[in-house]
Structures are given as C-alpha cells and as structure tokens.
Structure 1
Amino acid sequence: MSNKILSFVLFLLALSAHLNATPPNRNSDANEIITTLTLRDQQQVIIRRMREEDINEAGEIIRAAYLDDCKNIEHATSEERCQMFTVPVERTRHALHNIHNDKDSVLFVAELAEKNSNVAQLLGCCRVKLNPEGNSKDNGPFGQIGPIAARIGLQGTGIGTALIRVAEEYVVRQWHVCEMQLDAHSIPKPVEGVVHPMTPLLQFYAKRGYRRVGKTMWFDPANSNYVTMPGHLCHLERMVKDLCVPSATTGGDGTKRGREQQSAEKSPKRMRKHQNSAYSVKNYVKDLIKDDDHLNVLVEAAVDLAHNVGLIKRLDDSDSRSRMNSDFASIIPFTLFPSPYPRQIFLQALDVQTGLQKLYFRVSCDYAFLAEQFKDVIKTNDLMRRMAEIMHEIQREGQKQAYTLFLARSDYMVGVQLDKETGQKKYGLKQVEMNIGSVVGSAFGPRTAELHRQMLQKVGMDASNLPESRAFNTLAEGLYLGWQKFGDPDAVVVFAVLQGSVHRFDERAIEYELQRISEGKVNIVRMSSKEAYHKLRLDEDFKLRLSADGRVVALVYSRSGPLPEWTDEEWHARRTIERSTAIKTSTMFSALSSSKKVQQVLAKPGMIERFLPDPEDKEIIAEIRKTFAGLWGLEKDDDETRNLVQHAIDNPDLYVLKPQNEGGGHNYFDEELREKLQHFTHEERAAHTLMERIQPMIVKNYMVRPHEEPVLSDVVAELGVFGCLLGDKRNLSILHNKQHGYLVRTKPASSTESGITAGGVYDSLNLF
C-alpha cells in the first residue's frame, strides 16, 4: 500500500476516533496522531496536536523560518535585511500559549516518528483558527491558517504541505466551514487596480489551491509576535481556498447524519453558510471507503462493471500489420464514483445548448465573417491556412449541398469567483470551448453513468441524482435525419474515423444505434482518413461515390481531423468530400466557426446580436453571454493589446494561451505561456487567443486506471453537453435543433488538460 493511501487511512481513523469520542476537555486529544508521511531521506514523520511542552521548540521554528522568509523578500535591500530581527523569545512563547488555549484555534506539529535524543524532535508547526462570524455580516464563518513553518533546512521536503492538508481537513470536519484564508507577504507598496506578479511565497500557496482575491493589507511590525522589519515592507496579500464540505453518507444506522444534525444545532451560523452557499458541495466520496480492503473490493467490482457495460478500449498488437485487430481490451479510465456537481449549473448548461447551436449555425453560414476573422491567423498557422483554402475554394465554386448537420458538444467548467461586494464565493458556468463534428464520448459518458449507478447501489447510496444520458442516440438520430434529407434510400453513410482511436467503441455505439433507428435501412461504411483517398471518388456532377462499387454517399460523418499531421493525400480526400453533394458533419465552414478565434470574437459586445438579431432571441443571448469567460484576440499591435500581453507575461497563472488547432489540447500555461508571449513574432501571436484561466471547483474522487493503484485525489470535472442541429444554409432555416445527453471528463486538479489521452478519466454527475 502506498504511503499516500496509508496516510489517508490513518488520517480518517484518527479523525473518526476523535469525532466519536466525548473528551472531558478540548485538549484531551492532544496526543492523537493525525497523519504520517515519509521525507525524501525516508525518515518517518507524524503530525499531531501540539502539547504545552512543545511551545518553546515550536516558537523557535516559527521565529527562524519567518526571519528567513523575510530576508528572502525579493524587493528588500541589504540595509533593510539588516533591520530584520526576531522578537524576544518570551513574546513568541506568550503568543503561542494564548493560541494553545484559544477555543477557536488549533496548533499542529510535525515530529520524527522515532525518537532520537541527538536530533531535534519537532520539524514544523501550523496554526489554524476559526472565524465563526466571518469578517462582515454578509460573510459566513471561515478558517484562517497561519503561522506555518518548517525547520530551516527542511523546506521542500513536504512538511509544510502536509501540515496545510491536515489543517484543511480539520476545519472541514470539525468546524463545517468551506473556506480557508491566509495572509502572505506580498509587495512593498500595493498600487490600486494593479495585479502584481506572484512572489515565491504566493506561488507556494497557489500551487496548493489558494487563489488571489485582490486584497492587500499593511500590518504594524510592532505587533508582530515572531519577527520585526521595516514598516514599508510589512504588506500582506489575502489568499483564499475553497474547501469541499463532506456530507453524511447514508449509513445503515444513520449515525453520521445524526452528527451533522447535532453540529447544526450547536453551531447554526456555520451550518447555515454551508446549506445556503452556492457551493454546499456534498463531498461524499472520501466517506464511502472504510479501509484498504473495502477500496480494493470496490475497485475490482468497478473494473468488472467497466468491461460489462463496454467502458473499454481495444489494445493494439505489437505487430503493426494487425493494428486494431487485437482481441485484447482494457478499461477506459474512469472515476470510482460520480463526482458531486451543482444541479442548477448542470441545468443551465442544458438550457443554453440549442441557442448555442443556432448561433454557430448562423456563424458558419457567414462566409465573409469567417474570411475576415482568419486573415491574420492563416499567416502562421498552417492547419488553419489549409482549412481556409478549402473554404475559399468551395465558396468560389459554389456549395453543392445546402443542408448542413451539426453534431455538437459544448464543454464547461464550474468557475469560482469572489463577489467584490459581499466577499463571498460565486460559482458559475464557464464555457471552455464549442466542438462541432468530431465529438467523442457520446457512448462512454452514458456507460460511465451506468457503472456509477451500480457502484452507488453497492455502497447503499441513492442513485436518483445521476442524470440520464443517451447522447449517442441524439447523434445517431441526427445522422438518420441527414441521410433521409439527402433523399436517396440506396445511398450510404461514411464514417471517416481515426486509425487506432481509443474511442473506437464509442464510434461503434453511434453506428449500431443508427442501424437500429433506421431498422437496418442505412448502409454504413467505415474508413480512415488515409483510406478515404483511395476509397472515395468525385463524379463530374459532384456526387461522392465509393470507388469500389460506385454507390452514392449521402452523408460523411468525420471523426478524424482536420489534424496538423495530415498527409497531402488526407487533405485531398477531405477536399473531395467538401466539394461533393454529400451532407457533411462537419464542413470546413462549421469547423472554422467553432474555433477558438470565433469563440473569442463572439465574446465581444454586440457580436452575438449580429447573428441572432430577432427580438425573440434576446433572452437566450443573455444566457449564452453568462457562460463566457474572458477572451482576447492578439492580432492588433495597439497599446491595449500590448498592455494585455504584458499583464499575461507578469501573471501567467491568470491566463491560458490557445492556438487555433482542432482536437483540443495544445494550450500553454504558466511559464510556457510567459515564454511564448515573450518570443512570439506579431504574426505568431495573432494566431493565438488569450483566455481567462478558469478557477475551477475542486472535489475528491478516486481515478481508476489500468495497472495503477487508485488514490483519493483532488479533481476537476469538465462537463460536455451534446446536441444536434440540421439546417438549410440557403435561407438559414433550422429543420431540427435538439439537446440531449452529456459526458464528464475529470482530471487531477494539478493537470491542465482534461482529454482522456492527456490523463483525464470519464466521470458522471451526482447532482446536489
């Protein structure tokens, strides 16, 4: 068993014992071990509540660590560093003694598991405090962490991180609050309205989930209990982290539910914030697992279920001549249980989907608009250039097919922001991107939900909050309507697929559903984008036919590309398809319309109204706009753009830099973003879009992957909502516009990409 799992199990056992006990006073549990960890030199360390006899040693650790931290302030001069001193030791001891006896404070210490008289025992310490009333009448209770200190020479060994984690878990379970705040050394003199670069200390906390909220403050060094320094350096910046408040699980005897009710009676104001907050997340997963044996039993059951419901991928043979002909299959990665998700935000995503599809259909019909938006992008982006060239050719030649079919998926995250007026957190739906055509996961999403439904039943939980999803049925229905609209009952449907795709069975589910809906009337032919060059031909009347037998192609469903690595033959095949009378999903027009560039332009004031001018669309326009994150084009060379770029260079953690490539991924974050913006030419910069980095809602879950031990992790869920639209480009009429089905791809909170091939896993939703 890994150290992380051992630490987590010990932590749960310790807290469970503490919660079920009835100690005579608040310090009766001072000797309990909260968790254990292993340092890089393999020494075992335990974390426990501080005792009275620890005060002297803890005080020395804090004084030394804080002095070292202050002397490393980047903007401090040598003379100023000479003016930094620790305060008298008696003052620190007195402060820690008061904290130790404060009913709303707890001190944790880290020490070596094996006693050694020749080595200092305490390695670090951390204090956490409850603010029961908040800091205003509109702000509920929260935890406040600090001081946090590791012994000099032990920074970077994981002691500080472990202390922070223990403190966070403690305030959630003991105090039922969902927010932690801290104040860290920031800048010498804050300037109003200016977001300053992160100091190393701020970066340390940011990597552990704390976010800047734009609040700085000055403190009087005369009141410091640990270190004093020149007053103009005494500025702090507030950072905040959202903590997921666990709910009671549905145990057979109801004891956990009873404890939560008792806590509400004793501390109604704390629980009221939990219950009324927009983020009263039921973070139940961590409470479902009794021990390692229980976890292993559940994982084994889940893996069997995955194979049974078809949440699997085919493995390639090592012999390249038999690629994708292997009889071996492996599970597609998934979460052990459905992740908690706000019901209101989920419904908001469903409600806006048909409006989005109508908007992007209108955009795809506006050739002049698309040509204008990509005139700068194509100068340095070869993929966009080749796509635009085909679009221009089709426009000059005249489009041979008026009907267009959208198979769409709009992806979202739950964004977290701070309300400037109330100081409370707000949670909202934020669109990541719009995908049209090659949308994956329509079958794997429902299969994951079915797996989760059975897993919840195994642990005695209600599965009624898992929304139904048959997205593959929606897509198959759209393909059938497109085939019917073509008007030739003998014409075939071509699935142009990616060779070796992990989503092969996802594609097959749509194929089988299409055959079921059509009662076997639709003939389906699969081929890769490479094979299409040889297997498709274009007649003089622009009908697309199969080269082998001459059958007419009614519809082409492209699950592959366009991709940067396409060969000339693959591009030729796509050009042939685009020029034909076949109905296509998607066309180059619709593919370009769903690019990051167009997404950015649509976020400008008045742009949605350009495509949805009818008064009846006013309400849906407002709903669409609510989902937009900040988006900026970089093609201009004016002061506004230069200032924006500089701000992103100074604060790369606030942005994502997105190229225009299809297929997801390829994005730049943090230092890579900074480096790209510093070295891009103007033309290269113009081929990218700058997007506000969404601060996501984080929950706990286990991720199950082949040949890996599942570990309880902080994860972020990305919701995808499916839909289908069939429209006539001649008069902009919409013949079919439907939303149905969803998928969830979940990634580690530390990861930047959510795709399954990039480390993400399939998930579903437990709505609350």
Structure 2
Amino acid sequence: MTLNNWPPSLTTEQESHLLELATDYTLASGLVYRPPAIAPGTTPSTTSAIHAPYSLFPTPFPRHLFQQAQQLQPLYNALYAHVTTDHPFLDEVVGGAVAKVDEFQGKLYELWKQVEQEGVKQPLHLGLFRSDYLVHALPGAATADHTIKQVEFNTISSSFGSLSSKVTDLHRYLLKTNSYPTDVPELKLENLPPNPALKGLAAGLAAGHKAYGVARSAILMVTQDNERNAFDQRPLEYELLETHGIALHRIPLSQLGPLLTLDPTTSALLLTLPHAPNSPPTEISVVYYRTGYSPPDYVHPTVPSSTLWSTRLLIERSLAIKCPTLALQLSGCKKVQQVLSSPDRLASFSNKGSTPSTLSPPPTAALSQLDLDALLDSATNLYPLDDTPAGNAALELAYAHPERFVLKPQREGGGNNIYRSDIPPFLDSLAEEDKKRREGEPREGKGKGTKGEVVSELGVYGVCLFRAGGGDRVGGGEGGAEVLVNETVGQLLRTKGAESDEGGVAVGFSVIDSLLLV
C-alpha cells in the first residue's frame, strides 16, 4: 500500500454495512454534535443530536513524521512558556505592532497591561495547546524524505480532543470486529495508535487544580451560547469527576457577569451556581476558556459588549489559574508565530549552558541550540504584511504570486483565512480601508458517505503549566519560564476535500479522522 491507493475498494453492500456500524457507534459513544438551528434566529435543539463528521477509514500518515510531531510538542510547549513570560517581547511584537492595527488584539493587550500594572494575583499559567502540521512532500520524493511543517500553534480553546479520541476508538472498533476488508495487510491494530487526548487534557486541567491547592474548589469552563460542540466539552467534565474527583461547571460567558465575584482579601474567584443561587459560592481553581478567541465572542444580543469584556477582566484579576491568561492568548497570535520563524529571534529563547535535549521532553523550559534547530526545521516560510522592508517585499510577492500563499489574520476558530486568487482583491480592500481611515470615513464592520481526493492536517495536543522565572535566558527578557508540567497528550487528524482551502471541523470544512501509520 502507498499513500496514493487508499482507501480500499468496497462493494455497495460492504459500504452500507460499514456505514451502519460506524453510525451506530458514533451515536452510542457520544461522537455527536447538537443539530444546527432549524431557522435563522432560533437556537439549536438541546434534546437531539447528530453524529459529528468523521472519516470511515483511518488515513495513512508517515510513522516517522507522527513520532517527530509528538516529540516536538514539549519543545513548542516550552517555547511558548518562554514567550508568554517575556513581557518585553510581547510588548514589542503585540503592543508595538499587532495591537495598533487589530482592534480585538488591541483590547486583549490593553487588559493584559492593565492587570500587569495592578499586580498579577496568580503567577501560574496553564496551556492546553495544539500544534497543527501539514506533510510537506516534494514532487517525486519518497515517503521517507517527507517533512512536516507547522501550520499554527493554538494557545486558546484547542478543541476536538474528546471527539478525536472517539474517532480513534471507532476505527479501532471496526478493525477489531473484522469489519474492514481483511485483504489489506497494513490495516492492523499496531498501525492505529491510541489517542489519549481526552484523558491527557483532563489530566492537564487536574494538574492546574492541584497546583491551586484548595481541595473544595472547582474548575470553570467558559463556553459560547448555544454551543453545538458541547459533546467535545462534556467528556472533560466527566473525566475530571470520575478520575480526579474534581467538579467542572460549564457556563456561557454571557451569563457569568452577575455570577462571579472576587474575595476582597484573597482575590479568589467565587462563582454563584445558577442552579443553586442560595448556596454559598464555589471557589474556582482553574478557568478554562472554550470561547473568547474572536470578536464575535464579545458580542451578544442582550448583554453589552462592555459587560463581557469586564467579565474577562474580572477573571484575569483573580487568583484562579487561567487557561489561558491574556498573555498566553496573545502569545498565540499569528504575528508571534511569524516572528519566531526567524532563527535570530528564536535563538533569544534559548538557555545558556543547557544540555542538548533534542526531540525529548525537557525537564524545564531550557531550549538548546539543537532544540531550536528542530523547531526551525518544522517552521514554514512566514512573511509579515507591515510597513517594514520585509513587509513591503512580502506584499509584492502576494500580488505577483498569490497562488503560493495563505493570508492569515490574527484570529482563531476556522473560516478566517484568505487563499490564492482571493488574496489580491482582499489586499485591495484593505488598502481602501486604510484610505478611508486616513480620510476619517467610517468603517463597516447526515448518514451518507462521501468519496474524493483529500488532504489531512495533524494536530498534536500538549499540556504546559508554568510561571515566570527559572532560566538564564540568552537575550535577557525576564529570566525565562519555570515549567512544572510539560507533556504531549494526544492527537487530532482533520481531513478535508483537496478542493477545500479551509480545514475547520466546527465550521464545516473537514471531518475528524485518525492515523494509519505507514
């Protein structure tokens, strides 16, 4: 078998049988979404479900690249711990560039600086990360010569850990029951790696809770209104309760304002449970954001935007451990990723005298030169679009060869990127917006299989608990980060039609998949 002759051929009867087994498994195991709203202005049903989009077969993926991505994750965890605790770096890259041209990132930066000036109550940061990769294959190159290139690094609301674990279980179930064709020797259990993402991400939240140190406290998951992806979130709640004995409360951001207060002495975050308003408030150990990563998250039909931002500020001022803090969320913006693709800038996050730890989980945030080389090898070419000489040269490239590029804004959640021939007219529209700004003008703000050529994107989950200090970093900064937990905890494979540019599952561009290692 090669990467080009997959999946195995099925008769109509075989395909029908496989689809029936798979669909039953998805519904029985909670691999589901809430259905879409039936009409504009209505809310999704909370009493019915449909299966999440999934692939019927696992997708072949080079074993050595999967192993490389897993081994890279602790290095990326440590790198972003360094970035988050290097305030001068964030001031320069975000405050000096992104915040000046992006209103949303500017608001996040403003609140971060406000809390920093007041005095941070909780020095610990918790990251549930996901680093996304595409396989880079040169024409005619053998599989052994393929490489992986990082698409992006997610520091907030890294989703699908629970559902991706269930898709892996689905494919392993179909294999164990001999439901797949038996004449494909590569389809064997040792080539379908387990996926501990659900347990690993829950263990990361539990580590934050334990570090907080108050036994009767609970974790707060901040969600969106009318969340269709609730069944990717609920399993974390159940795992925390059953395995770790920790309660988790899921509450939309729009409802939190009147429910949260700060203890006037300790700054502990206190939550009045909406279903028990007369009971004593619950102290919150960890706040885990599954919202708050894009401008629409701070817009609501009945709650003023200022109230939603005030809620975010209240949480940031509290003693609770944030996943992520404002600083950690800012460190995940695309401009930071672009700056870190420069060897000189990346080198400023290495440690003097650190021992080589290439492709192995470092015990601290120390990054050796060999580690930096491994990170650089996984980076793709990233170009700025600013007023620097490099930015002007990149602008010329984008107009001359748009088919070679993806234009990325400082946004998360899928559906935001601009591709190929759409880039020049979009850049023209930005130029027109700049002209208006200069002139003072206002700005306007299913149960059936599908076959086709596909492209897959690998995401690797990581957990990192850290605080400032603990490293003699080259380049000064603030001494680096002291890393308390640094782990690789699972994976997500998203597969989409080759004709599609975007890759988000929640926004309808791809399906959840699993790996067949080759």
TM tier, shorter chain? 0.7 to 0.9
In structure 1, the partner of 2:334 is 596
For the pair 1:371 / 2:110, whether they are aligned, the reply is no
1:479–1:490 distance in 2 versus 1, CA, 3 Å: same
Deviation string 1:117-162 (CA, Å, 9 cap, x unpaired) is xxxxxxxxxxxxxxxxxxxxxxxxxxxxxxxxxxxxxxxxxxxxxx
Gap runs ≥5 in structure 1: 1-246, 248-279, 686-705
1:584 aligns with 2:322: yes
Residue equivalent to 1:760? 510
Alignment of 1:430 onto 2:149 = yes
Candidates 464, 488, 492, aligned match of 1:725: 464
Give the AA of the match of 2:380. Answer: A
The whole-number CA distance in structure 1 between the counterparts of 2:434 and 2:192 is: 45
Is the Cα–Cα contact under 8 Å of residues 715 and 748 in structure 1 kept in the other structure? yes
Report the CA distance shift for 1:319/1:671 in structure 2 as closer, same or farther (over 3 A).
Answer: closer
Larger strand proportion of the pair? 1
311, 333, 345: which one aligns with 2:31 = 311
Give the match for residue 545 of structure 1.
Answer: 270
Task: Please tell me the residue identity of whatever aligns with 2:252.
Answer: S
The equivalent of 2:137 in structure 1 is 416
Partners of 2:58 and 2:115 lie apart in 1 by: 45
Deviation at 1:328, TM superposition (A): 1.3
> Retained in 1: the 8 A contact 2:133–2:458?
yes
Q: What residue number does 2:254 align with?
A: 530
Tell me, yes or no, if structure 1 residue 396 matches structure 2 residue 117.
yes
Greater Cα radius of gyration, structure 1 or 2: 1
TM-score, structure 2 normalization: 0.84
- How far did residue 454 of structure 1 move? 2.4
Going from structure 1 to structure 2, the CA distance change for 1:644 and 1:424 (only over 3 Å counts) comes to farther
Q: C-alpha separation between the residues in 1 aligned to 2:290 and 2:220? A: 10
Quote how far apart the aligned CAs of 1:329 are.
1.1
1:517–1:400 CA distance, 2 compared to 1 (3 A):
same
- SS of aligned partner of 2:348: helix
User: Against the structure 1 CA distance between its residues 489 and 455, is the aligned structure 2 distance closer, same or farther, given a 3 Å change threshold?
Assistant: same
Cα deviation per residue 1:253-312 (whole Å; 9 max; x = unaligned)? xxxxxxxxxxxxxxxxxxxxxxxxxxx426331x331x2232222222211121122211
Q: Which amino acid aligns with 1:357?
A: N
**Structure 2 Cα separation of the partners of residues 314 and 728 of structure 1:** 38
Q: Corresponding residue for 1:483?
A: 209
Deviations 1:302-326 (A, max 9, x none): 1112112221112367599994663
Q: How far 1:453 moved relative to its partner?
A: 1.6
What is the distance in 2 between the residues matched to 1:417 and 1:738?
A: 31
Separation in structure 2 between the aligned mates of residue 412 and residue 473 of structure 1, nearest angstrom: 22
The answer as to whether partners of 2:268 and 2:284 remain within 8 angstroms in 1 is yes
- Shift in Å, 1:543: 2.0
Is contact 1:597-1:633 (8 Å) kept?
yes
Find out whether 1:563 has 2:326 as its counterpart: no
Q: SS of the residue aligned with 2:309?
A: helix
Which amino acid in the other structure matches residue 751 of structure 1?
S
Residues 414 and 503 in structure 2, CA contact (< 8 A), matched pair in contact too? no
Q: Determine the C-alpha separation between the residues in 2 that align with 1:582 and 1:739.
A: 24
Residues 633-660 of structure 1: per-residue CA shift (max 9 Å, x gap):
122243x433321221121110111111
Q: How big is the shift at 1:755? A: 0.7
Q: Output the TM-score relative to the length of structure 1.
A: 0.57
Bigger relative contact order, structure 1 or 2 (CA pairs below 8 A, ≥6 apart) = 2
Secondary structure, in 3 states, of the residue corresponding to 2:214?
coil
Alignment of structure 1 residues 50-199 onto 2, 5 Å? none
Structure 1 counterpart SS, 2:460: strand
Alpha-carbon separation, structure 2, partners of 1:654 and 1:668: 12
Query: 1:679: Cα distance to partner?
Result: 4.1
Q: Is the 8 A contact 2:128 2:463 kept in 1?
A: yes
Give the equivalent residue in structure 2 for 1:328.
48
Distance in 2 of aligned mates of 1:684 and 1:296: 55
Structure 2 unpaired stretches of 5+: 299-304, 356-367, 436-445, 471-480
State the alpha-carbon separation in 2 of the partners of residues 292 and 746 from structure 1.
Answer: 23
* CA distance in structure 2 between the aligned counterparts of 1:529 and 1:765, rounded to whole angstroms: 35
Distance 2:414 2:116 in 1: 27
**Following TM superposition, by how much is the alpha carbon of 1:608 offset from its aligned partner in structure 2, in angstroms?**
1.9
Report matched runs for 1:678-693 at 5 Å: 678-681=428-431
How many aligned residue pairs are there? 462
SS at match of 2:190: coil
Q: Distance in 1 between matches of 2:386 and 2:488?
A: 35
1:500 Cα deviation (Å)? 2.4
Q: Corresponding residue for 2:5? A: 283
> 2: CA distance between counterparts of 1:580 and 1:682?
42
SS at structure 2 position matched to 1:392: helix
1:330 and 1:426 map into 2 onto residues whose CA distance is 40
| Aligned residue type for 1:715 | V
Asked if 1 retains the 8 angstrom alpha-carbon contact of 2:413 and 2:504, the reply is: no
Q: In the alignment, which residue of structure 1 is the partner of 2:500? A: 751
Q: Is the 8 A contact 2:22 2:170 kept in 1?
A: yes
Task: Please show how residues 222-237 of structure 1 align to structure 2 within 5 Å.
Answer: none
Question: 1:536-685 to 2 correspondence within 5 Å?
Answer: 536-541=260-265, 542-547=267-272, 548=277, 549-565=280-296, 566=298, 567-614=305-352, 615-616=354-355, 617-638=368-389, 640-681=390-431
In the alignment, structure 1 residue 301 sits paired with structure 2 residue 21: yes
Change (3 A) 1:750 1:680: same
1:682 to 1:675, Cα distance in 2 relative to 1, 3 A: closer
RMSD: 2.4
Counterpart pick for 2:169 among 437, 450, 458: 450
Deviation string 1:8-39 (CA, Å, 9 cap, x unpaired) is: xxxxxxxxxxxxxxxxxxxxxxxxxxxxxxxx
Contact 2:156 2:323 in 1 (8 A): yes
Contact 1:283 1:340 in 2 (8 A): no
Distance 1:678 1:574 in 2: 35
The answer on whether the counterparts of 1:440 and 1:503 sit within 8 Å (CA) in structure 2 is: no
Counterpart-to-counterpart distance in 2, 1:611 and 1:436? 18
After the TM superposition, which of the residue ranges 676-685 and 750-759 deviates more from structure 2? 676-685
User: Given the alignment, which residue of 222, 225, 228 partners 1:499?
Assistant: 225
Distance 1:447-1:425 versus aligned 2 partners, 3 A rule: closer
SS in 2 for 1:376: helix
